[in-house]
Amino acid sequence: MSGGGKVEDIVQKLKKLGFNEYEAKSYVSLVKQGPVNAYQVSKESGIPRARIYDVLSNLVEKGMVMKEEMNDTTRYSPLPVEIFLQKAQSEWQSTYTVISDTLKSLETSEEKVDNRVMTLKDYETIISYCQTLLKKAERRIVISMWDDMYEELKEELVQAAEKVTVQGITLHVDNPIGNLETHRITPFTETPSTERWFILSIDSKEMIYGPSIEERSVAFYTDDPVHIYLLEDYVWHDVLVNRLVRRSQDDLEKWITKERRAFFMKK
């Protein structure tokens, strides 16, 4: 990344901490230059001279910039980066604690009337939601996952398996953890057009399920016991058929493929 690109990137990050565009550019400019006058900040940062004094005055008020007057000359210097970072981290942690405590108290104080089915969108949101649920597990986790989703959640699954039972089935996963079943290779699993659905159920109380989030960034969260029962039962039947085929001496796979096509009315 170029120097200009790095500056623009850090300016955008500072804006997330509550700085406006000009304040962020001024602080970064001072970090780069050291103690300088307002004109030099304006010239280096591209902030109009008509605005620079107000911007620097605001930063002085916030304690982010120090103002020094010597021999009719006013110079500005930045709050040292190490102190700024410590201050920002402390403020963020304080804000996080207040928001977290308040939101959790609001969430638990309201009676939940209806069980929900919510749509989750955005890849990172879906992964974060799954990771959070895995950490909440107290007794049992049931999954049905292809390799892409399994790899995203593998670290959390391994950690969870140390304290709770993890059951279910995986597809195209080498050496899945614990008692997880490895789905047999079938025409269905090897067809590129096959939708790579995943199911993640936590203690039979909460569940996230959906198609491959790499192709379609959408999933569904539910705490509805009917949804959860039906989809856990679906996973169990998948596990059961997998075990029956493995134990059978007959060529069941062709028969299953034929019957599946007939059921879903495929030629």
pLDDT of residue 110: 58
Pair of tokens at residue 200: 């993640």
Residue 74 has pLDDT above 50, yes or no: yes
Residue 174 has pLDDT above 50, yes or no: yes
Pair of tokens at residue 195: 């939708």
**Structural domains in the chain plus CATH codes:** 3-79 (1.10.10.10), 117-263 (3.30.870.10)
C-alpha pair distances (Å), 186 with each of 107, 174, 230 = 45, 16, 24
Residue 13 has pLDDT above 50, yes or no: yes
Residue 1 has pLDDT above 70, yes or no: no
Alpha helices by DSSP H, listed for the chain, are: 3-16, 21-33, 38-45, 49-61, 81-109, 123-136, 147-161, 187-190, 225-247, 252-263
Token pair 């001072």 is found at: 30
C-alpha pair distances (Å), 201 with each of 143, 195, 206, 209, 265 = 6, 19, 6, 8, 30
- Looking at 125-129, 189-193, 220-224, which range is the least confident one? 189-193
Give me the residues paired with residue 222 across strands.
117, 207
Q: How far apart are CA 260 and CA 265, in angstroms?
A: 8
Tell me the mean pLDDT in the region 205-234.
Answer: 90
pLDDT of residue 231: 95
